[in-house]
């Protein structure tokens, strides 16, 4: 008997499906069976406009024959303000009976009245939409959903859609596991993309605080608006952030899109400043101001969402078009910033065109088209961050180059070109710095050396050999002194050596003798070899004098005194 009853149930289900297939409205019926976890209802939808807002459920049932194919692309009726009734005939098999979730997977529907009719009898009536209290939703999720009970046989769904914005209607019937799986997948996706946006926001604010580059502040505004638009568009904001706040529900889409466009204009103007003429830069700032004023106007209800949509359609691409000459100029120079801008704008144009097409009822509404703008905006956020980092790196390189040029000029101005030693100017700087550190326990010794016998070498072998001799002398002096001691050439064959940090005067004498010993061996350079000596005079600070000029003069005077006494002498000032 059990097997016979099972066969009879299967037979009744087959008869039901066949009758539905042969009936005049068979092609429009949605079939609920035991095999499908989700049934897309749009292929079975018929629509009836209600511009006067006077049709009730009784009239809608009586006017079935006046329902026709929906105007517009798949699952979208565009920006039409008028109320629309939708009719969906449903055929349920024995295996398909039970609970099904009616789901409108578009969060910004303001009001949808659901009427479940069986044999012309109203089985259930439910009001959905984001203007209803969140706690009153049959299923408290980001989309608008309600569980309905279907018995074997034919039934009808009549849906009254009343919303000011786009009538995007991806409507389906799903078993609970399929509904939950799809809802969790969407929330996982939204969580991942929102987390990425939050990370980019924190990074940009940190860079702004650290580098004081206003480009990062403009980028942060762009990220906030882009992320908040998606949070609102996909119902996450109503679910977690501004639950039951009617102002946010009415205005977030318009305000975030307008402010994102303003931030984009400011970002482009800043990032391409060097490649845009001043009129384009002023125009970009003007576009940003226009969008900012429009955002304020929309926030105080001076303009509605339709006006915002018109404004964004006409001016949303203005920052890209105005920045294009600068991006092309950079790209032609081989600057990757220009290439990245072009890639970002191309992606934004495609994503925006798809989204506008869906909103206006010209492009089918499905997972990819509904997420196209979010994916495009995420790509743009990543590209714009790349542009900001490249701009920062370029500025850092420019700063390094400027510092290198400055250091090079400073080095040239303070270095002897022949020997590579510091010159008189460099000596003055080093000496003044060293004198600031002297004390009775930290003595500074300054030695002035003049070569003995350099002029005959110069006269006999020529200036090239003389220059070579001076370079070798410089090398010996460096090798003779300690690592922190300074060696300078202040002109001709005259050198100065500075030694600081001495603890007693005897150390100064020892270093002076070491300088004299540096000239004991012959100087060999190339094919030439010659011997020269040096006369050294030195003075101590603070023991003898403590002024830089006075210290040099004192050591110079001691050196000339040594010259008068003979060659290869070491004399201290005042000794």
pLDDT, tens digit, for every residue of 81-138? Answer: 899 999 999 999 999 999 999 999 999 999 999 999 998 899 999 999 988 899 999 9
Tens of pLDDT, residues 119-135:
889 999 999 998 889 99
Cα 134 from Cα 248, distance rounded (Å): 14
Phi-psi region of 270 (alpha: psi -120 to 50; beta: other; left: phi over 0): alpha
525: β partners: 528
pTM over 0.95, yes/no: no
Count CA atoms within 13 Å of residue 519 on its CB side.
Answer: 24
Other CB atoms within 10 Å distance of the CB of residue 14: 12
Is the pLDDT score of 15 beyond 80? no
Give the mean pLDDT of the chain.
90
Cα 84 from Cα 69, distance rounded (Å): 12
**Which CATH number among 2.40.40.20, 2.60.40.2380, 2.40.70.10, 3.40.50.2300 corresponds to the domain 2-177?**
2.60.40.2380
Task: Give yes or no for a contact between 519 and 568, defined as CB atoms under 8 angstroms apart.
Answer: yes
Does the fold of domain 189-400 match that of domain 2-177? no
Cα 60 from Cα 45, distance rounded (Å): 14
Other CB atoms within 10 Å distance of the CB of residue 338: 22
Q: Domain spanning 424-572: which superfamily?
A: Reverse transcriptase/Diguanylate cyclase domain (3.30.70.270)
Query: Could you tell me the pLDDT band of residue 453, with boundaries at 50, 70 and 90?
Result: confident
Query: Which is nearest to 378 in space by CA: 197, 209, 132?
Result: 197
Tokens read off for 49: 């406009």
Catalytically annotated residues: 493
Task: Give yes or no for a contact between 187 and 104, defined as CB atoms under 8 angstroms apart.
Answer: no
Tokens read off for 23: 């009936």
Q: What are the two backbone dihedrals, phi and then psi, of residue 256, each rounded to the nearest 5 degrees? A: -65, -40
Query: Could you tell me the pLDDT band of residue 7, with boundaries at 50, 70 and 90?
Result: very low
> Pairing mode, if any, of strands 153-162 and 171-174?
unpaired
State mean pLDDT over 259-269. 96
Phi-psi region of 98 (alpha: psi -120 to 50; beta: other; left: phi over 0): left
What does the domain layout of the chain look like in residue ranges? 2-177, 189-400, 424-572
Residue-level pLDDT at 20: 38
Residue-level pLDDT at 25: 39
189-400 is a CATH 1.20.1070.10 domain: yes
């Amino acid at each position: 008997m059990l097997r016979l009853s099972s066969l009879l149930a299967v037979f009744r289900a087959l008869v039901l499906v066949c009758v539905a297939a042969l009936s005049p409205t068979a092609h429009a019926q949605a079939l609920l069976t035991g095999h499908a976890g989700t049934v897309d209802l749009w292929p079975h939808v018929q629509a009836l406009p209600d511009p006067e807002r006077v049709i009730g459920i009784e009239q809608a049932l009586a006017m079935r024959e006046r329902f026709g194919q929906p105007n517009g692309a798949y699952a979208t009726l565009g920006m039409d303000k008028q109320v629309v009734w939708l009719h969906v005939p449903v055929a349920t098999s024995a295996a398909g009976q039970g609970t099904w979730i009616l789901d409108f997977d578009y969060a910004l529907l303001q009001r949808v009245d659901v009427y479940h009719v069986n044999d012309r009898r109203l089985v259930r009536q439910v009001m959905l939409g984001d203007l209803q209290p969140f706690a009153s939703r049959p299923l408290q999720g980001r989309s608008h959903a309600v569980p309905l009970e279907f018995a074997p046989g034919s039934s009808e769904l009549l849906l009254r859609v009343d919303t000011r914005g786009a009538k995007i209607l991806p409507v389906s019937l799903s078993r609970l596991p399929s509904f939950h799986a799809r809802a969790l997948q969407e929330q996982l996706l939204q969580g991942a993309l929102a987390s990425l946006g939050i990370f980019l926001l924190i990074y940009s604010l940190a860079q702004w605080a650290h580098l004081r580059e206003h480009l990062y502040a403009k980028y942060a505004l762009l990220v906030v608006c882009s992320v908040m638009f998606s949070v609102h568009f996909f119902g996450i904001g109503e679910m977690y952030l501004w639950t039951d706040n009617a102002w946010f529900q009415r205005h977030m889409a318009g305000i975030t899109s307008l402010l994102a466009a303003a931030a984009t204009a400011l970002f482009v103007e800043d990032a391409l400043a060097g490649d845009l003429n001043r009129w384009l830069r002023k125009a970009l700032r003007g576009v940003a101001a226009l969008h900012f004023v429009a955002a304020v106007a929309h926030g105080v209800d001076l303009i509605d969402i339709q006006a915002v949509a018109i404004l964004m359609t006409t001016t949303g691409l203005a920052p890209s078009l105005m920045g294009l000459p600068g991006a092309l100029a950079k790209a032609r120079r081989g600057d990757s910033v220009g290439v990245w801008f072009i890639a970002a704008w191309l992606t934004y144009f495609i994503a925006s065109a798809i989204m506008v097409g869906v909103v206006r009822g010209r492009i089918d509404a499905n997972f990819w088209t509904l997420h196209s703008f979010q994916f495009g905006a995420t790509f743009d956020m990543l590209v714009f961050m790349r542009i900001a980092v490249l701009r920062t790196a370029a500025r850092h390189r420019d700063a390094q180059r400027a510092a290198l040029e400055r250091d090079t000029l400073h080095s040239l101005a303070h270095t002897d070109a022949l020997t590579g030693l510091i010159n008189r100017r460099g000596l003055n700087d080093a000496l003044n710095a060293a004198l600031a550190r002297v004390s009775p326990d930290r003595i500074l010794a300054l030695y002035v050396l003049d070569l003995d016998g350099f002029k005959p070498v110069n006269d006999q072998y020529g200036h090239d050999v003389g220059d070579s001799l001076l370079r070798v002398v410089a090398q010996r002096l460096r090798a003779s002194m300690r690592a922190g001691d300074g060696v300078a050439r202040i002109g001709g064959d005259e050198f100065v050596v500075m030694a600081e940090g001495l603890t007693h005067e005897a150390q100064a004498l020892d270093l002076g003798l070491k300088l004299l010993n540096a000239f004991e061996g012959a100087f060999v350079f190339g094919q030439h070899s010659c011997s020269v000596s040096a006369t050294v005079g030195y003075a101590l600070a603070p023991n003898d004098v403590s002024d830089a000029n006075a210290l040099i003069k004192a050591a110079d005077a001691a050196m000339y005194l040594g010259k008068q006494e003979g060659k290869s002498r070491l004399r201290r000032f005042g000794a």
